């Protein structure tokens, strides 16, 4: 019983429609709203029982066009600036199709796909200023990449054979990072069995950067209490405001105590590809760095990267120690010949061909053009910041350091106590009316409309439209009776 089509001609015809439609959909993305809710009748239609009997592919595709395609998150749209989502690209989309067609298995093996992953990792190593001897692996995203870095840190710095003996064979381990560090850090500490408390959140300065002196005294206090510090996380672009910690300073502090220095550069480290590379100076000194090409590399989901300065340290964390399982043994010749074995660099054994979209995007777009798009986004964020500052009814809530602008509508006459609800309502209206999709954060108890520009389709006019809409909706809502 094969699952191949019995009518290949019909599949060819549907496939041509699919490719044409998706490219057209991307080409015309600006003509649609960034986001719209999924209507109830569509939700009902999608809530189907298990399809025991199959349908012709073109009927399945019609259902996709009718019920799925019109209701995405919207991050492909030029006016989507929520969270830190990337735009993707037509090239990335086509590469995904080709990779799925090949359906390569990337644990390792003597195959072209492994050579491509190895090659893109060497390009990325060079672009991030890491030594060529560094080791890396492509993973699902920032959370996985950061976890990979901390797992290597834990094995390198625990001081006992933690893989063999487990956590209970030594004192509690501690990891430091600023209070602005993304929630992955606590999740990673939980996942590693160290408990959320193992993440020691250190205060930040007025620009939301790690307070190095506070970190130093926390390390001393923890050592005196019998805990074992293992790593400091430096942020190259925090999720709230894109603040960059003093990465050189963290390297020095980590060295003083013999700690691992991990950089979370999920999006921000990509600034190294742009003319603003100095913003993230020092990240190249890290023991490990995590970043996402699906964010500011504009590649389709999912693809994150972790690079580890000392390749042995990465292997030490993941390579089987008690002898490789018989069914995974490598050989001198043949498909299992001793090549790069990516499965020894991370948690996954079965791995897909993520590297193809990286390779195709970098070859077709060129690293410099991607870097220009990143620089455009940085310039756009500063432009929006200046527009906010020049507009009396708007207030900038954090300095613009990279590609994030946090602001609120705060006209004279509206009491402080109303501003949080008012701005929350403005944000909702921006999304629901299909104007733009910023997201939110809270800074010093003030609700902020948060615009994170990791979008190669955004133009300055889009940001002007946002400012106009915030002023208009703000005035409308402030005058209304609906808010307390």
Ligand X SMILES: Cc1ncc(COP(=O)(O)O)c(C=O)c1O
One of 176, 184, 273, 447 touching ligand X (CB under 6 A): 184
Under 8 Å between Cβ of 135 and 148: no
In angstroms, rounded to a whole number, what is the distance separating the alpha carbons of residues 484 and 470? 19
Query: Is residue 408 close enough to count as binding ligand X by CB under 6 A?
Result: no
- Shortest Å distance, C-beta 217 to ligand X: 25
Query: Is residue 284 close enough to count as binding ligand X by CB under 6 A?
Result: no
Residue with smaller CB distance to ligand X, 143 or 200: 143
Residue with smaller CB distance to ligand X, 78 or 82: 82
In angstroms, rounded to a whole number, what is the distance separating the alpha carbons of residues 27 and 11? 24
Q: Which helix (H) or strand (E) holds 385?
A: helix 367-389
- Strands 80-81 vs 288-292: parallel, antiparallel or unpaired: unpaired
Query: Is residue 263 close enough to count as binding ligand X by CB under 6 A?
Result: no
Residue with smaller CB distance to ligand X, 78 or 304: 304
- Shortest Å distance, C-beta 375 to ligand X: 19
One of 78, 88, 108, 141 touching ligand X (CB under 6 A): 141
Shortest CA distance to 180 belongs to which of 235, 254, 258, 249? 235
**Region 206-235 residues binding ligand X, contact defined as CB under 6 A:** none
Residue with smaller CB distance to ligand X, 157 or 182: 182
In angstroms, rounded to a whole number, what is the distance separating the alpha carbons of residues 268 and 205? 19
CA dist 157 to 221, 235, 261, 317, Å?
A: 18, 20, 11, 11
Under 8 Å between Cβ of 321 and 293: no
- Shortest Å distance, C-beta 331 to ligand X: 36
Region of 46-54, 136-144, 316-324, 459-467 interacting with ligand X (CB under 6 A): 136-144
Query: Is residue 296 close enough to count as binding ligand X by CB under 6 A?
Result: no
In angstroms, rounded to a whole number, what is the distance separating the alpha carbons of residues 155 and 173? 11
**Region 75-104 residues binding ligand X, contact defined as CB under 6 A:** 83-84
Query: Is residue 267 close enough to count as binding ligand X by CB under 6 A?
Result: yes
- Shortest Å distance, C-beta 408 to ligand X: 21
Query: Is residue 200 close enough to count as binding ligand X by CB under 6 A?
Result: no
Query: Is residue 142 close enough to count as binding ligand X by CB under 6 A?
Result: yes
List residues bridging with 449 in a β-sheet.
Answer: 407, 440
Query: Is residue 292 close enough to count as binding ligand X by CB under 6 A?
Result: yes
Residue with smaller CB distance to ligand X, 264 or 376: 264
3-state secondary structure of 205: coil
What angle do helix axes 311-318 and 142-157 make, rounded to 10 degrees? Answer: 90
Region of 9-17, 262-270, 312-320, 327-335 interacting with ligand X (CB under 6 A): 262-270
- Shortest Å distance, C-beta 116 to ligand X: 22
Residue with smaller CB distance to ligand X, 34 or 304: 304
CA dist 470 to 173, 212, 274, 397, 429, Å?
A: 46, 37, 30, 15, 9
One of 143, 274, 423, 455 touching ligand X (CB under 6 A): 143
Interaction mask 361-400, ligand X, x per CB under 6 A: ----------------------------------------
One of 177, 234, 300, 304 touching ligand X (CB under 6 A): 304
* The token pair that represents 215 in the structure block: 């970190």
CA dist 155 to 163, 186, 452, Å?
A: 7, 18, 35
Residue 211: burial class (beta carbons within 10 Å; 0-12, 13-18, 19+): middle
Under 8 Å between Cβ of 230 and 154: yes
- Shortest Å distance, C-beta 377 to ligand X: 14
Show the DSSP H helices in 399-459 as ranges: 416-432
- Shortest Å distance, C-beta 222 to ligand X: 24
- Shortest Å distance, C-beta 204 to ligand X: 14
Query: Is residue 186 close enough to count as binding ligand X by CB under 6 A?
Result: no
Residues in the chain: 484
In angstroms, rounded to a whole number, what is the distance separating the alpha carbons of residues 2 and 120? 35
Binding footprint of ligand X on the chain (CB under 6 A): 83-84, 141-143, 182, 184, 237, 239, 264, 266-267, 292, 304
């Amino acid at each position: 019983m094969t699952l191949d089509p019995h009518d290949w001609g019909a599949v060819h015809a549907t496939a041509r429609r699919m490719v044409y439609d998706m490219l057209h959909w991307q080409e015309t993305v600006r003509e649609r709203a960034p986001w719209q809710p999924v209507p109830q009748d569509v939700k009902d239609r999608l809530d189907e029982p298990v399809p025991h009997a199959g349908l012709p592919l073109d009927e399945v595709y019609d259902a996709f066009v009718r019920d799925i395609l019109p209701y995405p998150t919207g991050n492909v749209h030029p006016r989507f600036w929520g969270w830190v989502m990337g735009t993707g690209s037509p090239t990335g989309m086509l590469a995904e199709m080709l990779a799925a067609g090949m359906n390569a298995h990337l644990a390792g093996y003597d195959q072209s796909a492994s050579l491509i992953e190895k090659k893109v990792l060497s390009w990325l190593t060079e672009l991030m200023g890491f030594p060529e001897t560094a080791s890396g692996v492509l993973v699902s995203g920032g959370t996985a990449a950061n976890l990979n870095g901390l797992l290597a840190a834990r094995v390198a710095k625990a001081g006992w054979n933690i893989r063999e003996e487990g956590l209970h064979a030594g004192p509690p381990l501690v990891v430091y990072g600023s209070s602005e560090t993304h929630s992955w850090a606590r999740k990673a500490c939980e996942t590693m069995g160290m408990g959320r408390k193992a993440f020691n959140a250190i205060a930040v300065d007025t620009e939301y950067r790690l307070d190095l002196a506070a970190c130093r005294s926390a390390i001393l206090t923890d050592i005196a209490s019998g805990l074992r510090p293992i790593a400091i996380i430096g942020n190259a672009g925090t999720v709230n405001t894109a603040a960059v910690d003093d990465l050189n300073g963290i390297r020095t502090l980590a060295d003083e105590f013999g700690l691992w220095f991990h950089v979370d550069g999920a999006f921000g480290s990509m600034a190294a590809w742009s003319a603003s590379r100095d913003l993230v100076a020092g990240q190249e000194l890290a023991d490990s760095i995590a970043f996402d090409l699906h964010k500011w590399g504009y590649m389709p989901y999912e693809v994150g990267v972790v690079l580890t300065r000392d390749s042995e340290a990465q292997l030490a964390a993941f390579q089987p120690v008690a002898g490789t399982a018989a069914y995974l043994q490598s050989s001198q010749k043949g498909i299992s010949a001793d090549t790069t074995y990516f499965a020894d660099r991370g948690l996954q054994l079965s791995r897909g061909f993520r590297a193809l979209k990286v390779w195709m995007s970098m070859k077709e777009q060129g690293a410099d053009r991607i870097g220009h798009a990143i620089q455009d986004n940085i310039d756009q964020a500063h432009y929006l910041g200046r527009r906010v500052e020049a507009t009396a009814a708007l207030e900038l809530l954090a300095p613009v350091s990279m590609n994030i602008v946090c602001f609120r509508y705060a006209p004279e006459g509206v009491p402080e106590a109303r501003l949080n609800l008012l701005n929350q309502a403005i944000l909702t209206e921006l999304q629901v009316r299909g104007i733009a999709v910023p997201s939110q954060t809270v800074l010093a108890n003030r609700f902020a409309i948060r615009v994170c520009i990791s979008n190669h389709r955004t133009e300055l006019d889009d940001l002007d439209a946002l400012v106009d809409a915030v002023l208009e909706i703000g005035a409308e809502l402030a005058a209304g009776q609906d808010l307390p």
